[in-house]
Chains A and B, each alone.
Chain A
Amino acid sequence: MKRIALLGMPNTGKSTLFNRMTGGAARVGNWPGITVELLNGKILLGADMVQIIDLPGIYDLHGFSDDEQVVRHFLHDNVPDLALVILNATQIERQISLLLQLKQLNLNIVVLLNMSDEAKKYGITIDSEKMATLLDVPIFQLSGKYGTGYQEALKAVTRALRYPTPGMAAEVRSQLEQDEQLEAEMAQVLKHSVQIPAQLPVNLTEKLDRVMLHPLLGLPIFFGIMYLLFQGIFLLGLPLQTGVADLLAWLRETALVPLLGGLPPFLHGLLLDGIYNGVATVAAFVPIIILFFVLMAIVEDSGYLSRAAFLMDALMAKMGLDGRGFVMLLMGFGCNVPALMGTRVMRSRAMRLLTMLVIPFSLCSARLQVFVFITAALFTARAAPLVLFSLYLFSFAAAILTALLFKSKFQNSEPFVLELPPYRFPTLRQMVLRGWLEVTHFLRRASQFIIAGVVLVWLLTHLPPSAAPASADSYAGILGGWLHPLFAPLGITPELTIALLFGFVAKEIVIGSLAVIYGMSGDALSGVLGQQLDWVQAYSFMLFTLVYTPCLSTIATLKSESKHNGFTLFSIVWSLTLAWLLSFAFYQGARALGY
C-alpha cells in the first residue's frame, strides 16, 4: 500500500486536514525507528487504498526537539511515497524554509497552502502558480476549515502518487551548513510570488488580546474561563453520567439478570457483579470524557491555551513547570485521565513527565463523591463546605510540593519559546471528530484495566466460598487484616482499609464497597460511619483518599503516555508515601493537640 506522510509546522491546521481526509477513522499505530505512536488512516484515492500518516508538527527538519527527531527518524526508516506538506499561508515567509528543507531530501512532494482565507484578511496575496514554477512542485491553496480547494488538491495528490519517489538522501542531518543557500533561495521565491503589507491591519485577535492578556484583568479572566469550564463539565456531564449509569442498571435488571439466571451462583455473580458492573463504571464515564474533550478542543484550537501559558508562566516557572502545565492541572479536577492525555501538547519530555507526576493530585470528580458522602456523615452542614474547601487546598499543596521536590530530577533543557496563533473558533465537525477519537482511545485503554480490577475485587470479597462476602474471613478481609498495622497509626479502621484497597481500582467503588462491607447503604451507612468514626479519623481517611493513586485508569494512562514502567511505578510509590505521611502527620498531630 502506498504511504502519504502529512508534514508541516505547528498551527498549520495539519491535524484538522488529517481528520477531514480520514473522516475520523484514524487509529494509533507504532512505526519502526520511533517510540511514539502516530495517527494514521486508510482512504481510497482514485482506484487504490492509500495510508495517510499524521506526523508531529515541526518547525525545522534539522532541529533537536523530540518531535523533530521523531519526524526525522520516521522519514529515515519509512520513506513515504508522497510528502503532503501543509504550510500556513499567513506565515508563508517563515514556513517556506521547511518546504525547502524537505525538497532537499528529494521526496515526492505536493504542497497545500492552508488558511488561505485568513491570509486574504491580512492582505497577503500569493501567486501559487508562479511559486509552483519557481519551486518545481505542485502547490494548491485551500482552507482546511471550510473545505475550499480540497477536491482539487486531492486530485493532485492522486496524480502525484502515480510516480515513484525519486529517492532520498540517507544522511538527513548533514545539511545544516546549507542554510545560507536556503535563505537565498527563500528570498528569491518570496520576492517574486508573495506580497505582504508592511504593517498588518489591527484585527480581531489584537483587540481580544488587549483584554484577555491585560496586565491586571488577564488573570481574573483566565480563572473565570476555567471556572465556567468546570461548571460546564459538572452541570452537563453529571446528569449524563447518572443517565448512562441508570440505563445500564436498567438493562442489567430487565435483560441480563433473567437471562443469566440459570447459571451457577458463583459464575452469575462474577459475570454480573464483577464484569458487567466494571464495564458499566467505565461506560458511565464516556459522556464526561466526550464533553471534556469537546470543551478542551475549543480552548486548545481557539488559541487560548497559549495565552493561558503566557499569563501563568511566571508562577509555574518557579515550580519547574510552564503555563500549559497549570491548565492541565486544572483540567485534572474534572478527571485525571484526559488531563494526563492533554500533556501531549508539551514538547519537552522532562517537563511532560513532571506535569504527569503532579496531575494525579488534582481532586477529581470521583474523589469528590467520596468526600461529599463522608463529610455529610461526619460534619455539620455548616462545617462541610469548609472541609471540602480545605481538601481542595491540600490537593494544590500536594501538587506544588511534588513539583518543587522533583523539579531538579526533571530538568528540561527546552527553553520556553512558543508561537502565539491568532484566535480561531473550531467548527462543529472538528469538535465532534475530536470527541469521538478520544473516546475510542479511552475505551480501548481503560476497559481491560477496569474489567481486570473489578473481577479481582469481586473474587477477593467472595473467596473462599465458605466465608461471608467481604467479611474478615474473605481474602479481602485477610488482606485488610495484614495491612491494618500500617493504617492503624493513621486512625484508619480495618473496614476503611479494605475500602482504600478497592479505591485503588477506582474511587467510585469506595462508597459502594463500604456498603458491601457494612451490609447497608445510604442513610443507614452514614449513621454507622458517624457512630464508628470521629472527625479526626474521617479527615485522615479523606486525606489518604485524596493523595494516593487515583484509580487504575490513571495508572494505565500514566503508563501508556509515559511509555515508561519505572516512571509509572515511581508515581504510584510517591503518591502512596505522601498520602501516608500526610495522614500520619494530621492524625497524630490532631490527637496530640487533644482532639
Chain B
Amino acid sequence: MPAITLDTLRAGDSATIVTIHAEAALHQRLLALGFRSGRQIELIRKASFSGPLQVRIGTTDILLRLAEAAKIKVCKT
C-alpha cells in the first residue's frame, strides 16, 4: 500500500500513521494528542465546506483542519 496523506481519507476509513511532517510546535501538539508512527487512526467524519476532520486515535477524538492533516502520511488498512 502506498502512503497517502490523512486529508485524502474518506469517512469510515482506517489507516496506520507512517510519518508526520510538521513544524516543531505542531509536531509536539500532535505527539501529545497521540499521533505517533505506527498507530491506528480512523477518520470519523469531515465537516461541510472543506471544514475540519474528526479523527479517532485510541480513545481520543481529535479535530484538525485539512492543512494540518496534509502533513500526516498514512497507510490505508
A314 and B68 alpha carbons, distance in the complex (Å): 14
Chain B residue contacts of A436, Cβ below 8 A? none
CB distance from A584 to the nearest CB of B (A): 36
A317 and B25 alpha carbons, distance in the complex (Å): 20
> Is the CB of B31 closer than 8 A to any CB of chain A?
yes
> Is the CB of B1 closer than 8 A to any CB of chain A?
no
A165 and B72 alpha carbons, distance in the complex (Å): 41
How many of chain B's residues have a CB under 8 angstroms from any CB in A?
A: 30
A314 contacts B59, CB within 8 Å? no
Chain B residue contacts of A98, Cβ below 8 A? 32
B68 contacts A419, CB within 8 Å? no
A310 and B53 alpha carbons, distance in the complex (Å): 8
How many of chain A's residues have a CB under 8 angstroms from any CB in B?
A: 43
A94 contacts B65, CB within 8 Å? no
B51 contacts A313, CB within 8 Å? yes
A417 contacts B59, CB within 8 Å? no
What is the count of residue pairs linking A and B with beta-carbon distances less than 8 angstroms? 111
A64 contacts B28, CB within 8 Å? yes
Known: A306-B63, A415-B64, A417-B63. A63 touches B25 (CB 8 A): yes
A94 contacts B58, CB within 8 Å? yes
> Is the CB of A215 closer than 8 A to any CB of chain B?
yes
A93 and B32 alpha carbons, distance in the complex (Å): 11
Interface residues of A in 28-64 (CB under 8 A from B): 59-60, 62-64
CB distance from A348 to the nearest CB of B (A): 11
> Is the CB of A200 closer than 8 A to any CB of chain B?
yes
A422 and B33 alpha carbons, distance in the complex (Å): 15
Interface code A407-445, partner B: CB below 8 Å = 1, 0 otherwise?
Answer: 000000111111111100000000000000000000000
CB distance from A212 to the nearest CB of B (A): 11
Residue from B32, B45, B50, B52 with most neighbouring chain A CB atoms (10 Å): B32
- DSSP majority for the B interface? mixed
In the complex, the chain A residue whose C-beta lies closest to that of B71 is A415
A91 contacts B47, CB within 8 Å? no
CB distance from B35 to the nearest CB of A (A): 9
Chain B residue contacts of A309, Cβ below 8 A? 63
A418 and B54 alpha carbons, distance in the complex (Å): 9
CB distance from A527 to the nearest CB of B (A): 50
Known: A122-B59, A309-B63. A413 touches B25 (CB 8 A): yes
B28 contacts A63, CB within 8 Å? yes
> Is the CB of A193 closer than 8 A to any CB of chain B?
no
A216 and B48 alpha carbons, distance in the complex (Å): 8
A415 contacts B29, CB within 8 Å? yes
A332 and B66 alpha carbons, distance in the complex (Å): 29
B60 contacts A91, CB within 8 Å? yes
A311 contacts B62, CB within 8 Å? no
Q: Which B residues contact A (CB, under 8 angstroms)?
A: 24-26, 28-34, 36, 45, 47-52, 54, 57-65, 67-68
Given A60-B31, A94-B32, A417-B30, 10 other A-B contacts at CB below 8 A?
Answer: A59-B32, A60-B28, A65-B25, A93-B59, A213-B54, A415-B26, A416-B64, A417-B63, A417-B65, A418-B52
Closest 10 CB pairs of A and B: A314-B51, A59-B32, A314-B49, A420-B61, A60-B32, A64-B25, A418-B63, A94-B34, A417-B64, A416-B65
